[in-house]
Structure 1
Amino acid sequence: MWEKFKKKKETKPKEEKEYPIVDITLDVFKKAIQDYSRQLPGDIPLSVIINEDLTIDYQLLAPILKGIPKQTYYMSKETYEIFEENDYQLALEIDAVQQAVDKYMRQTDELPVIQGDPYKKVSFHKLESLNLLQHRPKHHFYITNDEFLITYDKPQ
């Protein structure tokens, strides 16, 4: 009964620590993401650091980097690959194609590759025939043996 008359404790929002803007190389940035992922509890995916526009939440990495990167980096939500600012379109394409490949495989139980291609090049025609791609990417993609993830690097 007396609960409603008790003063509620005011909670102050945690203030985010201010970090300096610093030059961070891609290699250092990748290492910071690896370090951050090792700290995550097992049930939390690494994708928590990826914003909707594929930018990365630098505040989460700032304690590791001891600063906020001056550069803009992007990360694929599908493959966790990291891209520099000039490769933003590639990051968008890799996510779109990976999602399309996954859906194609669920629908057909086969890989959407060009028949007879030894490199397992993704067939955009097969993906488009099931309306799984909104537009044809500028880059070529290949399916790896690693969980059927795609890559833009042509296998050797």
Structure 2
Amino acid sequence: MWKRSKKKSNEPLEVKDLSIHDVRKAIHAFADQKQHDVPLSVLINEDLTLDYDLLSPFLHAKPEKKFYMSRETYELFEEKDHELAREIDTVQRAVDEYIKQAEELPVIETDPYRRINYYKLEKLDLLHERPERDYYLTREENMITYRKPK
């Protein structure tokens, strides 16, 4: 079983101005080297920040800026989009539960972009606050996105 390193360096990680691309690259490197049975979610703290101790072998530093990662979609966000990361998790969990309960997709039937039907989620008491933005169901594993398909 994969474990966090028991021996931690006494030296704190150097703080650097790292881009979202740098952090994303480190996450991909971590994912490539982790054991198969270890979920990527081990990188995500409760507040959706990242565990930079686990990423340190790939980043060699701690980012100056805060980055957040969705637990449900594993999408990475900058600090300004922290609420978007939280909202995506909420909507994705509601969509997953709706599919399980209703055995159908919670989309607007006439919408060619497969826009999420918030009414369907609210009707089953799965969504308590309606998001202001639209979400769409992708064709990959019923994941949602806030980006309108082309």
**2:24 aligned with 1:24, yes or no?**
no
List aligned pairs for 1:1-156, cutoff 5 A. Answer: 14-16=7-9, 17-156=11-150
Distance 1:15 1:40 in 2: 18
Distance 2:40 2:149 in 1: 27
State the superposition RMSD in angstroms. Answer: 1.0
Q: CA deviation at 1:132?
A: 0.2
- 1:18 shift after superposition: 2.3
- What is the TM-score normalised by the length of structure 2? 0.93
Task: Could you tell me which runs of 5 or more consecutive residues in structure 1 were left unpaired when the two chains were aligned.
Answer: 1-12
| Counterpart amino acid of residue 139 in structure 2 | N
Measure, in 2, the Cα distance between the counterparts of 1:138 and 1:24.
31
Residue type of the partner of 2:49? T
Stretches of 4+ moved more than 4 A in 1? none
| Residue segments in structure 2 that go unaligned for 5+ positions in a row | 1-5
Q: CA deviation at 1:45?
A: 0.4
Task: Name the larger-Rg structure.
Answer: 1
Counterpart amino acid of residue 80 in structure 1: Y
The 2-side partners of 1:39 and 1:138 are apart by 38
Measure how far apart 1:14 and its partner are: 2.9
Instruction: Report deviation, 1:63.
Output: 1.9
Shift of 1:138: 2.1
Q: Secondary structure at the match of 1:131?
A: coil
CA distance in 2, matches of 1:49, 1:34: 11
- For these two proteins, the number of residue pairs brought into alignment is 144
State the identity %.
49
How far does residue 15 in structure 1 lie from its aligned partner after superposition?
A: 3.3
One-letter code of the match for 2:148?
K
